[in-house]
Structure 1
Amino acid sequence: MRPHNPPTGRHWDGSPRHLPPRRSLQIATHSPSRLLRAGQTGRCRHCGNRIDWYPRSDGRPIALHPAEVPTTSVSAASRWHLSSGVAYPHDDGSRWCRIPHAALCPHQPPDPHTASTPLATLRRELSLRTRRLIDTGAFTPETHSPATAGPAGHNERPTRPVVRILLINYLAESPIDTLRCVAQTIHRDRCTHSLPAQTPGRWILLPTQPASGQLTLPDTSMAVYDLSHLPYADQLRWRAQRCTIHAATAAADLALAGWEPFDPLLHADYIRTTLPTPARHHPRAR
């Protein structure tokens, strides 16, 4: 007597097994944001608490607290609301709103105007959570290490270089050769390809241009990775942080582009006054 093995599409008693079809996250064609919901969640590098990243109307990212808070306990300048995956800096008329994580982050100095509001209680909860994460070894606060030029003869590449795209200076999140594409692959994970193509950028020295009219910085030059000589479409690809494979595709993003508008007053620690030394290839001895 041979054993009867039921097919994989049925239970042990032969009854049919109804499996719901597997659905993947997709972005609507009319959506102003290309970021998937799975790629919005992150951790604050200063306190370790959860944050939600959203693009603003100008394309720059903002970290919001993952939960809504009562509108009455938040000042008008700190009220944000979401619409079609985009964050807007005002409330939408409801009783609830979103608040930037910087207003609650234990790493930031507390606001004296919120000492007796529900936000102070929420801030203390985040502080206790940060202490618990540090004590258990699950989180290590990031130490600030300026990316300035070292001593003579040790001109290494900057960890966060200034990149010039479409005549605008941006501060990159990592070295040039480590920038990864943010697009989603057919396997539903993030693309592992890098951004540089056959025509790379060039390091040049440009004068520092303060965002404000006050001359608070010395009139010096800084090293900039210039991409302005590339074609317009290639510069758009760099700003969208896409590889050559996903440059013209409709694939969604699994992460926000790591560009931050460069401000010489806020990012003075990352200004380099000398050009990086190019890597030399030494031939093998025969």
Structure 2
Amino acid sequence: MTRRPDLVLLGDRIWYIPDGVYDLQCIARTRRGLRCRRPVESGQITGWTELRSTHGLITVYDLGGFEAATLRRWREQHCELHDTPDVVDFSAPEWEPFDPVRHAAMVTTLDEKIAEYTRQLREGATEEWQPWYPAPI
């Protein structure tokens, strides 16, 4: 499986994760002096949202509406086991503040989105399926 970067909306800030949401690993130091191997989140707790900016569209893993404790745990990059005030970190968190210029590959321009949607329509594969009813005679 190849890792790809993702964007995460934490509170009111967007963060860039180089290895993606599902491969985000806890950074706590274990009792043996090694890095914890557990993921920050063991399952999908929220969904993906598409946001519009002046640079184009971005898709984010939306943690914006969660309670402060969950946002802090994600920001500190700890699994639920290591969500304690006395935990010692093995390394620094992997987060970077999202910059639409530096992380331009994460931004889809409106022209690219329209081209993709047109291709999907042409191939008959769209995300939205609506029943078709013939026009009344």
Q: What TM-score do you get using the length of structure 2 for normalisation?
A: 0.71
What's the counterpart of residue 37 of structure 2? 192
**SS where residue 233 of structure 1 aligns?**
helix
The correspondence of residues 82-231 of structure 1 with structure 2, limited to 5 A, is 159-197=4-42, 200-209=45-54, 217=55, 220-231=56-67
The residue that corresponds to 1:239 in the other structure is: 75
Q: How many residues align?
A: 109
Deviation at 1:172, TM superposition (A): 0.5
Unmatched 5+ residue regions in structure 1?
Answer: 1-156, 210-216, 275-286
CA contact (8 A) 2:58 2:106 kept: no
Structure with bigger gyration radius: 1
What are the Cα deviations for residues 2-42 of structure 1, in whole angstroms up to 9, with x where unaligned?
xxxxxxxxxxxxxxxxxxxxxxxxxxxxxxxxxxxxxxxxx
Report the 3-state secondary structure (helix = DSSP H, G, I; strand = E; otherwise coil) of the residue aligned with 1:204. Answer: strand
Q: Percent identity?
A: 28
Q: Give the letter for the 2:81 counterpart.
A: I
Question: Structure 1's 271 and 182: CA in aligned 2 closer, same or farther, altered over 3 A?
Answer: same
For the Cα contact (< 8 Å) 2:3–2:23, is it kept in 1? no
Flag the 1:189–1:171 CA change in 2: closer, same or farther, 3 A: same
- The unaligned stretches of length 5 or more in structure 2 are 114-137
Instruction: Verify the 8 A CA contact 1:190 1:254 in the aligned structure 2.
Output: yes
> Secondary structure of the residue that 2:75 maps to in structure 1?
helix
The one of 237, 262, 271 equivalent to 2:107 is: 271
Residue-by-residue CA offset, 1:140-170 (whole Å, 9 max, x unaligned): xxxxxxxxxxxxxxxxx97111110111001
Work out which structure has the larger RCO, using CA pairs closer than 8 Å and 6 or more positions apart in sequence. Answer: 2
Separation in 2, partners of 1:174, 1:272: 19
Partner of 1:251: 87
TM normalised by structure 1 equals 0.36
Q: 1:244 to 1:272 in 2, by over 3 A?
A: farther
Summarize the alignment of residues 59-98 of structure 1 with structure 2, pairs less than 5 Å apart. none
Offset of 1:201 from its aligned partner?
2.5
What is the alpha-carbon distance in structure 1 between the residues aligned to residue 44 and residue 19 of structure 2? Answer: 20
Alignment partner, residue 60 of structure 1:
none
RMSD: 2.1
List per-residue Cα deviations over 1:148-195 (Å, max 9, x = no partner): xxxxxxxxx971111101110010021211111000011111000001
Cα distance, 1:198 vs structure 2 = 5.3
Distance in 2 (CA, whole Å) between partners of 1:260 and 1:196 is 18
Q: What SS is found at the alignment partner of 1:221? A: strand
How far off its partner does 1:199 sit? 6.0
Give yes or no for contact 1:197–1:244 (8 Å, CA) kept in 2.
no
Q: Which amino acid aligns with 1:193?
A: R
